[in-house]
Chain A
Amino acid sequence: MSYPEHRFETTREIEALLFAAAGPLTEAEIVKRLPEGSDVVGALADLSLRYAGRGVVLAYVANAWRFQTADDLAWLMTQEREEPRRLSKAAQETLAIIAYHQPVTRAEIEAVRGVQASRGTLDVLLELRLVRMRGRRRSPGRPVTYGTTDSFLEHYGLSNLSDLPGMAEMKTAGLLSLDLPADFAVPDPNALALDEDPLEPDAPEFHVDFIGEDAAST
């Protein structure tokens, strides 16, 4: 089989897989299903191009690929739209703080907002699986730290945490440090914070993945 034909077959296969799938598929999942030796990376690049600007586009969310409708066509989708559960302002703010500052403890969330987290803020986010318990801070009392889930990324169409809007500007402005000094080094939310014990020492991915899968199947 000549090279281009091989590549064409691979794009067809990935196209079919992603179209049929209920949720995003990671590169590894795609590789596992395709014949050995398929150039998945190249084919994904081809597909991206092929679908750019179309009514259905190839998107990279939560470190996985999915087809989705173009966002400028939202007006067409009135029948498909689910009435989303509206997050309260407090819940939205809390979600933003968790997303940008993770891992973050409840006390830290409260410090940023200047009010005590009330009932129905954190638990709504946990229940919607936008937020999860990540680990424990290595500080007195070992408070639980919170972080976002894969379904958070999927919901907001982010490929990963560094894709959060305005992240870079906030970082340079020092606005993401939990301590007050403005010149403080900003922790990378992707990396495990140094003073955090993993809830899962060797396979933190498992938990994350799992939640993603869960969300996809519901």
Chain B
Amino acid sequence: TALVMLMTPGLAFFYGGMVGRKNVLGILMQCFILLCVISVQWILYGYSLSFAPGKGFWGSLEWIGLKGVGFAPYKDYAATIPHQLFMMFQAMFAIITPALMIGAFAERMKFSAFMVFMVLWTTFVYDPVAHWVWGVGGWLKDLGALDFAGGTVVHINAGIAAFMAAIFIGKRKGAENKAILPHNLPFTILGTALLWFGWFGFNAGSSLGANELAVNAFVVTNTAAAAAGLTWAILDWIFHEKPTVLGTATGAVGGLVAITPAAGFVSAMSAIVIAIFASIFSYIAVTVVKPKFGYDDALDVFGVHCIGGIWGALATGLFASKAINPAGADGLFFGNPKLLLIQAIAVGVTIAYSFVVSLILYKIVDVLMRARVSEKDENLGLDLTQHHENAYTMIE
């Protein structure tokens, strides 16, 4: 569980290294403050909204302030680990999800607007969706949708909301004529390493103790990241003469995303196939689709997380096998087309709901306080204008 906590800082450096020198603190701060805010929101009411049993839109409110959430395992979620531990584990999911979005509106969102938007988003988008898919009484869960470690709830959910935000906040100044160069790629690699490391906790931990499942998740997670990273490197090699570090890291993250919903249901060999296609689809989304439609999804949250998440969720419908996880189901390639359909429904519902509600919330925030910083502030950078700090000293 502790591992999962490292993912948010990991993400912070993954993103932070890719932005301009004048905006790196903006990224780090946004990730860091989410770690603070959502940790508190979660124990106050978020966990209850998401996981307290209830057939409705949200879970019930009986677990507010962790009331009744003790050490005794809550068998419907995890028979073997203390309820509070499960709660913490889920908290990390609730933190990383909004953090993923940061990449889309990077370098131009006002911090105050960011804070308000994120609290609203977690409450009105993340919590309900989490409830539907994972909560006792959640209707997608009852439908039989499989989401091992958050492909739908986390990645598609965040990815599509990010897509919305990128479109409506508009392009970065300077992004029109040229690429904004990553100011510190080693930080991006460091972040990737921490993400990869944390993801083991993310996926293996999602087996909630069941030993064999954890091992399988561990193996396929590593395999998928590796295969996807390699795939992207090769694609770069083919289309841009040289394999790039940023590309390899991006691919690896894409592979981790794609395997997330499938980690507990597929074999290592299937993982390789899933990973290869994950990279290919993301590669197309990032290098072909994005420029074509010209939205400025600054750090490709949509291209990597949404696309990867969708593919992963559907792939689960294709490659899932009872041989791996008896508690799971068989996918198309194992003679059960129905699962694929259910997965598709879950994906569709999440996309539709998340996009619409996120948009509404965004518009509210934008009207109330303008979501985007002024042009002058954008030129000076978020670090100085939003946080009154410089990331690095230039002369000493």
A binds B: no
- Using a CB–CB cutoff of 8 Å, the interface residues on chain B facing chain A are none
